[in-house]
Amino acid sequence: MSDSAPAPQLVNVTIDGAPYAFPKGTLLVDAVRQVGHPVPFYCYHEKLKPAGACRVCMVQMESPRGPMIVTSCTTPVGEGMQIQTMSDGAREARRQVLEFLLINHPLDCPVCDKGGECDLQDFTLRYGPGVSRFAEPKIHRMKAHELGPFLVLDQERCILCQRCVRYEDEVLGEQNLVLHGRGDGTVIDTTRGEPYAGHFSGNNTELCPVGALTSQTYRFKARPWDLRPTPSVCQGCSLGCNITVQRRGAEIVRLLARENAAVDGGWLCDRGRYGFGTVRADARLTAPQVRRDGQLVATSWDAAIDAVRQGLTLHGQRGIAVLGGARLTDEEAYLLGRLTRAVLRSNDLDWRTGAQRFAAPEAIGCHSAQVTDIDAADLIVIVDTPVGEEVPVLALRLRRAAARAGIVDIGPERNLTVGRAERVACAPEDLAEAVRGLTVRVAEAKMPLVVWNGSGDGELARAVAKLGAPLLVPGEFANARGAEAAGLLPDLLPGYRSMAEAAAVSEAWGGGPLPVKPGRAAAAILEAAARGDLGALYLVGSNPLGTFPDGTLAARALDTIPFLVVQDLFATDAAVHADVVLPALGPFEKTGHVTNLAGVRQEVQAVAPGPAGARSDLDIFVALAGALGATLPATAAAVASEQQALGRAEKPAMVTVLDRFTSGPHEIDGLRLLVRTQLYAGGGTAAFDPNLHVVRGEPRLRIHSTDATALGLRSGQFVIAEGDGASMRAVIELDDGLEPGYVAFGAHTPGANRMGQRVRLVLAGENGLASTVPVAAMGVNRR
Amino acid sequence: MALDPAETRAILDLYPSPRSAMLPLLWLGQNSDGWIKPETVTAVAQLVGVEESEVVSVLSFYTMYRTQPPAQRRLQVCRSLACAMRGAGEILERIREETGVGPGETAPDGAFSVEVVECIAACDHAPACLFNERMTGPLTPNRALGMLRGEGGEPE
Amino acid sequence: MSRMPKSSRLRQLRGLPEGLGTTLHYLWRRRVTVDYPERQRPVAERFRGLHILDRYDDGLERCVGCELCQAACPAHCITVEAAENPPDHPFSPGERYGYRYEIDLLRCIFCGFCEEACPTGAIQLTPRHDLVGFSRQDFQVDREWLLVPDPRTETLAEEGAR
Predicted confidence (pLDDT) per residue in C72-107, tens digit: 999 999 999 999 999 999 999 999 999 999 999 999
At A769, the pLDDT band (50, 70, 90 cuts) reads very low
For chain A, what is the mean pLDDT?
90
Range of the domain at B114: 73-148
Residue A122: predicted pLDDT:
95
Residue C162: predicted pLDDT:
42
The answer to whether A287 and A583 are in contact (CB under 8 A) is yes
Mean pLDDT confidence for A318-327:
95
Q: Residue B13: which CATH number?
A: 1.10.10.1590
Q: Residue B86: which CATH number?
A: 3.40.30.10
Q: Mutating which of A114, A223, A225, A251 best tests the C interface, going by the most C Cβ atoms within 10 A?
A: A223
The answer to whether A187 and A159 are in contact (CB under 8 A) is no
Residue A82: predicted pLDDT:
95
CB contact under 8 A, A178 and B57: yes
Do A and C touch, 3+ Cβ pairs within 8 Å? The answer is yes
- Check pLDDT > 80 for residue A74: yes
Q: Residue A157: which CATH number?
A: 3.30.70.20
* Number of structural domains chain C divides into: 1
A165 and A202 co-located in one domain: yes
3-state secondary structure of A52: coil
Residue C159 amino acid letter: E
In sequence order, what are the residues at sequence separation of 6 or more whose Cβ sits closer than 8 angstroms to the Cβ of residue A781? A669
- Count contacts between A and B (CB, < 8 Å): 26
**Chain C within 8 Å of A228 (Cβ-Cβ)?**
no
Residue A231 CB neighbours (<10 A): 14
**Chain A within 8 Å of B61 (Cβ-Cβ)?**
yes
Put residue A269 in one of left, alpha, beta given phi > 0 → left and psi -120 to 50 → alpha.
beta
A305 and A435 co-located in one domain: no
C83: chain A residues, CB-CB within 8 Å:
220
A587 assigned to some structural domain: yes
DSSP per residue, A533-548: --SEEEEES--HHHHS
At A358, the pLDDT band (50, 70, 90 cuts) reads very high
CB contact under 8 A, A180 and B52: no
A346 and A463 co-located in one domain: no
Residue A421 CA: distances (Å) to CA of A161, A393, A403, A672: 31, 17, 9, 24
What totals of helices (H) and strands (E) does chain A contain, helices first?
A: 24, 36
Decide the pairing of beta strands C123-125 and B112-117: unpaired
B27 and B47 co-located in one domain: yes
Mean pLDDT confidence for C121-146:
94
Percent of chain C beyond pLDDT 90?
64
- Check pLDDT > 70 for residue C160: no
B68 assigned to some structural domain: no
A458 and A491 co-located in one domain: no
- Check pLDDT > 90 for residue A723: no
Residue in A421, A435, A425 with CA at minimum distance from that of residue A468: A435
Residue B66: predicted pLDDT:
87
C8 assigned to some structural domain: no
Residue B69: predicted pLDDT:
87
C115 assigned to some structural domain: yes
pLDDT in tens, A204-233: 999 999 999 999 999 999 999 999 999 999
At B92, the pLDDT band (50, 70, 90 cuts) reads very high
At A774, the pLDDT band (50, 70, 90 cuts) reads very low
Mean pLDDT confidence for A713-740:
86
Domain boundary among A472, A505, A525: A472
Residue A665: predicted pLDDT:
38
B50 and B90 co-located in one domain: no
Contacts with A, B 19-48, CB within 8 Å: 38
Q: Residue A451: which CATH number?
A: 3.40.228.10
CB contact under 8 A, C71 and A110: no
* DSSP 8-state symbol, B93: H
C17 assigned to some structural domain: no
B143 and B82 co-located in one domain: yes
Mean pLDDT confidence for A325-352:
95
Range of the domain at C121: 51-151
The answer to whether C54 and C121 are in contact (CB under 8 A) is yes
B138 and B77 co-located in one domain: yes
B77 and B142 co-located in one domain: yes
Percent of chain A beyond pLDDT 90?
73
3-state secondary structure of A90: helix
pTM for this predicted structure: 0.89
In sequence order, what are the residues at sequence separation of 6 or more whose Cβ sits closer than 8 angstroms to the Cβ of residue B46? none
At A4, the pLDDT band (50, 70, 90 cuts) reads low
**Chain C within 8 Å of A223 (Cβ-Cβ)?**
yes
Domain boundary among A646, A663, A690: A646
At A669, the pLDDT band (50, 70, 90 cuts) reads very low
A226: chain C residues, CB-CB within 8 Å:
67
A181: chain B residues, CB-CB within 8 Å:
60-61
* Number of structural domains chain B divides into: 2
A155 assigned to some structural domain: yes
Residue A6: predicted pLDDT:
66
- Check pLDDT > 80 for residue A247: yes
- Check pLDDT > 60 for residue A776: no
At A184, the pLDDT band (50, 70, 90 cuts) reads confident
Residue A450 amino acid letter: V
The CA distance from B141 to A94, in Å, is: 45
Residue C155: predicted pLDDT:
60
Domain boundary among A646, A681, A703: A646
Residue A48: predicted pLDDT:
96
Q: Residue C71: which CATH number?
A: 3.30.70.3270
A468 and A545 co-located in one domain: no
A560 and A619 co-located in one domain: yes
For chain B, what is the mean pLDDT?
90
Q: Nearest-CA residue of chain A relative to B50?
A: A175
Higher pLDDT, C26 or A766: C26
B47 and B85 co-located in one domain: no
A467 and A446 co-located in one domain: yes
C135 assigned to some structural domain: yes
The answer to whether B99 and B107 are in contact (CB under 8 A) is yes
**Chain C within 8 Å of A143 (Cβ-Cβ)?**
yes
Mean pLDDT confidence for A618-640:
95
In A295-447 the beta strands, taken as DSSP E runs, fall at: 295-298, 320-324, 349-350, 379-383, 406-411, 422-425
Decide the pairing of beta strands A228-233 and C140-141: unpaired
B94 and B40 co-located in one domain: no
- Check pLDDT > 70 for residue C157: no
Residues in chain B: 156
Residue C122: predicted pLDDT:
96
The answer to whether B94 and B144 are in contact (CB under 8 A) is yes
Range of the domain at A32: 10-101
pLDDT in tens, A485-518: 999 999 999 999 999 999 889 988 987 889 989 9
B15 and B40 co-located in one domain: yes
* Number of structural domains chain A divides into: 5
C13 assigned to some structural domain: no
CB contact under 8 A, B53 and A191: yes
B80 and B22 co-located in one domain: no
Q: Nearest-CA residue of chain A relative to B38?
A: A192
CB contact under 8 A, A178 and B52: no
A514 and A603 co-located in one domain: yes
Do C and B touch, 3+ Cβ pairs within 8 Å? The answer is no
A724 and A592 co-located in one domain: no
Residue C70: predicted pLDDT:
96
C38 assigned to some structural domain: no
* Selection from A35-39, A267-271, B150-154 with the highest mean pLDDT: A267-271
A564 and A630 co-located in one domain: yes
C117 assigned to some structural domain: yes
Higher pLDDT, C145 or C151: C145
A607 and A564 co-located in one domain: yes
C16 assigned to some structural domain: no
- Check pLDDT > 80 for residue B73: yes
CB contact under 8 A, B57 and A192: no
B135 and B96 co-located in one domain: yes
A331 assigned to some structural domain: yes
B51: chain A residues, CB-CB within 8 Å:
169, 175
Mean pLDDT confidence for A668-675:
71
Choose among A143, A220, A225: nearest Cβ to C82: A220
Q: Mutating which of C91, C96, C97, C120 best tests the A interface, going by the most A Cβ atoms within 10 A?
A: C96
B52 and B77 co-located in one domain: no
